[in-house]
Amino acid sequence: MSVDNTAQQELELATKWLDITITNFIENMRKLRIEDTGTLMASFQKQVVGSAEGRLQMRLSYALYGKFVDMGVGRGMGAGVTKKDDGYDRIRMSRGRLKRYARKKRNWYATEMSYQTRRLSELMYELHGKLLLTTVNSALPSETTITF
């Protein structure tokens, strides 16, 4: 296994990992019924970049309001609406609580991301462990036997 081959395998692994992660995010959103307009699901973008230093970089982006849905926070009204406006009384009570519904967190991101990050590290350890064993094995004299 050469270094170039390993870099290619890392790139393939990262691309597949991003595909699976996005698929799992969308499944979580459907399960939790976070499909109001579909714009959050459509906002996912991924990019895998191999840097000059040999480090692999991945970028996963999505609409910012997705974090607010995950945490169960947000204003619940349009930008620019203040307490003095007519729209404020229509949406909120005098103490600031929403009239329509109470917000609750819907964990579509946090739990899945921690699991997927751990899984990516396991896959990378496995890939580089094979490279290490191959390198050690090829550097040893042929008469020597090592038992692991």
pLDDT at residue number 44? 93
pLDDT value for 129: 77
| The pLDDT value given to residue 33 | 87
pTM above 0.75, yes or no: no
pLDDT tens for the 148 residues of the chain, in order: 566 777 788 888 889 999 999 999 999 999 988 877 788 899 999 998 875 567 788 899 998 888 888 887 765 665 666 667 766 666 666 666 665 666 678 888 888 888 998 998 888 888 877 766 666 666 656 555 556 5
Instruction: State the pLDDT at residue 46.
Output: 93
Over residues 71-85, the pLDDT tens digits come to 877 656 656 666 677
In degrees rounded to 5, what are phi and psi of residue 43?
-85, -5
Going from N- to C-terminal start, the domains of the chain cover: 3-72+105-139
Q: Are 66 and 43 in contact (CB under 8 A)?
A: yes
| Other residues' Cβ atoms within 10 Å of the Cβ of residue 11 | 14
- Axis-axis angle for helices 3-31, 110-139 (nearest 10): 160
pLDDT for the residue numbered 100: 61
Give me the pLDDT at residue 73, please. 74
The 10 Å Cβ neighbour count of residue 118 is 10
How many residues in total does the chain contain?
148
Instruction: Pull the structure tokens for residue 7.
Output: 């870099």
At residue 17, the pLDDT reads 92
pLDDT attached to residue 23: 94
